[in-house]
Amino acid sequence: MIYMEAWNILCMNPAMLRKLELFEEQVLCFAVKNGVMQEEILLQVVYLAGQKRNYSESLFRILKGCYQLIPHKEVLHEICTLLIKGNRSGEAYFPWYQEGVEENLRITRLYEYYMMSLPRNFDGELPKMVLLYFAYRSDLHYETTAYLYAYVHRRREQLADIYVNYMAAMERFVLEQIGRGRINRDLAYLYENILTLSMIDEQTARSLVSLLFMREVRTEAGNAKEVLLTYACRSDGKRFPMTDSRAYVPVYDNDCRVLLGDGAGNFFTVGMEYSLEPLMKPGRLAPMIAPFVRNHLGYAVYACYAKQHTFTVQEDNVDLFALLSLSERVEEEEKKKIRPMVVDFYYEKDRMRELDEYLDTLHPEDVNRHDRGKIVRFLVSRGMYEKACEWLRRFGPYDVDAKTLLKLGSRLLALTETEEEPLLAGMLLYVVQKGKYDDNVLEYLVKWFSGSIGQMYDIWKLSDAFGVDTYRLCERMLIQMLYTGVRVEDWLDIFRSYVKGGGSERVRAAFVSACCYDYVLKDEDTDFYVFESVRRLAQEDAPFHPVCRIAYLRYYADKERDAVVQKLCGVFLESLLAQGVVLPFYRKYFGCVPQLGAYLDKTMVEYRTTTGARVMIHYMIQEEGAGGEEYTHEEMRDMFGGICVREFILFFGEQLKYYITEETENGELLVVSDVICKGDAGEDIPEGRFSILNDIMIGKTLQDYDTVNDLLFAYFRQEHMVEQIFTVR
C-alpha cells in the first residue's frame, strides 16, 4: 500500500523524484515489476541515474526493467554507463554493450567493455567502429587483444584497409606476448601467421621454442587438477596445473604420455578422458628459430625424433643429437643408442675437431657393449691412447677388433719403458690369440706375461717359431708347472730351451726332481735328457732331491754303463745306503760299491703304497713241504715315497710265505699275498758266506760231495779271515 501511494504521488508530480535513495529505488522496482512505469518518470530516473557515481545493482535492475518496457536510447546509454562504472564485464553483460555499440552510443570505454564481454563461442561479426577504434590504441587484456588481432588477421582480405593499420601493433603485440611466454589458441594463430624471419632474434627464439610445441589438454573430469607429461626418451616428467578444465603442455615428440591427476599426487591411466590438440604446426617457424635454440632439449627431441621419419644423424641435427646424448634428462638407454651414431657422423664428415671433443666426453659405461669396440677404434685412430687404455681397463679388450688393439699395443710399446703393465700384457695376449702379432708383441709377452700355462704355452710356441728368445717365459712356465702340477705336452722341450739359455740351478733341479719322481713312483716313461740333466747337476755339485739318485740308478740298472756312469752310480749308491734307502734293484749294482756286500744274500719283498701309509707284512719261512708254523708280522719300512721293503735270508729248500696288509679307516686290508722259494729269489752270488752255505746244501742234496768239501774249505777260510781282520772293540 505504501509503494502504491508513493507511486501515485510520483505519477501526479514526477518532479518530486529528486534522488535515488533506498525507498525511491524500492518504489521504482514496484512500478517496473507491475509494468506501470511512465515515460516522464523514466526520463527523471535516467537523469538521476546519470548523477550516480557508483554502481548499484538495484538501479541496474530498474533501468533494465524500464528499457524492456520503454526501450529508449537514453535508458540504454545509462545502463551501459552504469555497468562501466561498476566494472562489469562478461558474457552476462555482453548484450547491453553489444546493443550500445550497435546504437553507436558515445560512452567512454564502451568498446573496451564490449570486447571484454565477448562470449568465448562468439562467431559473429565485430562492428567496424570497434575495429577502427582499436586500430590506434588498445589496453585490453592480452587474451582479448589476441582474439581481436586474430579476428582481424583472419579477415585481412575483407578488412584490407583496417588490417594495414593493425599490422605494426600486431607485430609488437606478438613479440611482447612471446617474451612473456603466453599461449592460447588466438595467440598461437598470431604466432604462426604473423612472425617472420626478420622478427626473430635469439631472445625471441628462446621464448618461442617451448610455445611452438604447446598442445591444449581438455577434459570433462571434474576432479582433474593437473597434468603429468612424460617422454619415452626422457627420464624426467613435468607437471602442469589445469585451469577451467584445460592446460597447455609442450609436446616435442608424439611418443609421449599424458596423465591427469587429482592434485593429491594420484595420476590415472583410465577414468579421466581428455583431448590433446596442437595449437601450432611447427613446420614453418621451427627452421627460423633453429639457429638460436641449439641448446634447447625440447627442440632437440623434436628435431631428432618427431621431425624425422627415420632415426638418423644428419648435418642439421648432429649437434642436437650430441646435446641429447649429454643431457641428464634423457634416458640412459636412449643415449647409448645416440652416441655411436654421433661419432660415426663426425668421422664420416671429417669433422675431426668435433669428433675429438665428443670422444673426450665419453666413458665406457656410456655406450652399449657391442659399440665399445667402435669407440676404442676411434680413440686409437685419433691418438687418444690413454683414454683408450682407460676403456680397456674397465671392460677388457673383448669387443675390440684385433687390428685396433695391435695398433694401440705397438704404440704403447713404443711409449712404455721396460716395465710390466698388466693391461698391456692382457691386451697383447688377446691380440695374439686373434692371430695378430709381430716380434715386438711376442718379445713383450715373453718378458712380462704370466697367465695360465696354456696361454703361456701358446706364446712360447709362437715365439720359438718366430726366433724370439724365450728364456724368461720358459722359466715362468717351468715354475708354474712345478707348483700347479699342470703340464703341457712339450714341457721337456720347454726345459731344453730353458737349459740352452743357461737356466737357474734351482729351477733345473726342481724340474729334474719332478720328472724323476714320476719315473720312480708313477712308472712314467722319462726321456734320457732328464738323466743327463741329473748327471750335469751332480757334476756341478748342485743340490737336488734324493729321488733323482734313485731314478738315475733305476734307469741304468739294466743298461750298459761306461766308466763315468758307473762312477756316478757308485756315488749315488753310497749316498742312498748311508741314508738307509735300500731297494731291490740294487742287486744289479753288486760289485759297484763295497757297502752292497751286506745285501748279497738278501731276498727283498717290495710293496708300493701312498706315502705315510702303515703297511704290515705277515710271513713264515719253512722248508719245502713242511707246515704248521705261525705267521710273524712286522711293519715294512718305507724307503721312499711309499716304496716299502722287507729283507729276508733264504736257504736252499726254504720258502717264504707272506701276505701284506694296509691299515685303512675300516681296519686292515689284505692287499698282497705270495710265496717265494729260494730258486725264485734271484741269481746266486758266490762271494757271500750265506751264498756258500746255500751252495753246500745244494751239493749235499745232489750228493756232489767233492764240491761240498771245496765249499766247506772256502767257507771256513773266509770265516777265519774275517775273525783275523775285523775285531770287535
Mean pLDDT of 348-372: 90
When pLDDT is cut at 50, 70 and 90, the band that residue 153 belongs to is: very high
The better pLDDT of the pair 69, 488 is held by 488
* pLDDT score at 335: 86
Quickly state the pLDDT bin for 693 (edges 50, 70, 90): low
SS3 (DSSP) at 673 = strand
Distance between CA 279 and CA 282 in Å, rounded? 9
Helices (H) and strands (E) in the chain, counts: 31, 14
Tell me the pLDDT of the chain averaged across its residues: 82
pLDDT range class, residue 628, cuts 50, 70, 90: low
Angle at 357 between CA 353 and CA 363, to 5 degrees: 145
pLDDT at residue 256, as a whole number: 76
* Grid cell listed for 3: 509503494
Question: What nine digits make up the cell of 533?
Answer: 740333466
Q: How confident is the model at residue 510 (pLDDT cuts 50, 70, 90)?
A: very high
What mean pLDDT do residues 702-718 have? 66
pLDDT of residue 427: 83
Q: Is 341's pLDDT higher than 50?
A: yes
Please say if the pLDDT value at position 213 is more than 80.
yes
Cα 253 from Cα 137, distance rounded (Å): 40
Q: Which residue has 751264498 as its cell numbers?
A: 691
| Predicted confidence (pLDDT) at residue 713 exceeds the cutoff of 70 | no
146 CB-contact burial (10 Å; exposed 0-12 / middle 13-18 / buried 19+): buried
Tell me: the pLDDT tens digits for 683-692? 444 455 556 6
DSSP state for residue 243 in the 8-state scheme = B
Bigger pLDDT: 727 vs 458: 458
Q: 232 pLDDT exceeds 70?
A: no
Q: Which residue has the higher pLDDT, 455 or 713?
A: 455
The enclosing H or E element of 521 equals: helix 505-521
At 39, the pLDDT band (50, 70, 90 cuts) reads low
Q: Is the pLDDT of residue 4 over 80?
A: no
Average pLDDT value for residue range 258-284: 84
Helices (H), 52-184: 57-69, 73-85, 94-102, 110-116, 128-134, 142-154, 160-180
pLDDT given at position 682 = 41
Q: How many other C-beta atoms are found inside a 10 Å radius of the C-beta of residue 313?
A: 23
Tell me the three cell numbers of residue 90.
Answer: 562478461
pLDDT of residue 219: 87
Question: Minimum mean pLDDT among 109-113, 216-220, 570-574, 667-671: which range?
Answer: 667-671
Q: What is the pLDDT of residue 490?
A: 85
Residue 267 contacts residue 261 (beta carbons within 8 Å): yes
457: Cβ–Cβ under 8 A, 6 or more apart, which residues?
A: 477, 488, 490, 494
- Confidence band, pLDDT 50/70/90 cuts, at residue 680: very low
Q: Which residues, 6+ apart, have CB-to-CB distance to 356 below 8 Å?
A: 382, 384
- Is-contact 205 289, C-beta < 8 A? yes
Distance between the two ends of the chain, CA-based, in angstroms?
172
Comparing 142 with 1, the larger pLDDT belongs to: 142
DSSP 582-643: --GGGGGGBTTBGGGGGGTTEEEEEEE--TT--EEEEEEEEETT---PPPEEEEPEEEETTE
The whole-number pLDDT of residue 444 equals 87
| Residues 619, 654 contacting (CB under 8 angstroms) | no
Long-range pairs, 90-96, Cβ under 8 A, ≥24: 90/116, 90/117, 91/117, 91/118, 91/119, 91/120, 93/117, 94/118, 94/119
Diameter of the chain measured on Cα atoms: 198
> Among 16-30, 214-228, 621-635, which stretch is predicted with the lowest mean pLDDT?
16-30
Long-range contacts of 716-725 (CB under 8 A, 24+ apart): 718/689, 718/692, 719/689
How many angstroms separate the CA atoms of 343 and 701, rounded?
Answer: 105
Average pLDDT, integer, range 283-303: 86
How far apart CA 587 and CA 600 sit, in angstroms, is 7
Least reliable range by pLDDT among 159-168, 189-198, 655-664: 655-664
- pLDDT at residue 270 tops 70: yes
Structure confidence by residue, pLDDT tens digits, 122-151: 888 999 898 888 887 778 899 999 999 999
Between the CA of residue 667 and those of 218, 284, 632, 663, 676, what are the distances in Å? 92, 99, 19, 6, 27
Find the range with the poorest average confidence among 44-58, 91-105, 242-256.
44-58
Per residue, the 3-state secondary structure of 571-585, as one string, reads HHHHHHHHCCCCCHH
The per-residue pLDDT for range 463-477, each reduced to its tens digit, is: 988 888 999 999 999
Q: What is the CA radius of gyration of the chain?
A: 58
pLDDT of residue 9: 57
**pLDDT score of 681:** 39
Query: How much is the pLDDT for 32?
Result: 65
pLDDT at 22 over 80: no
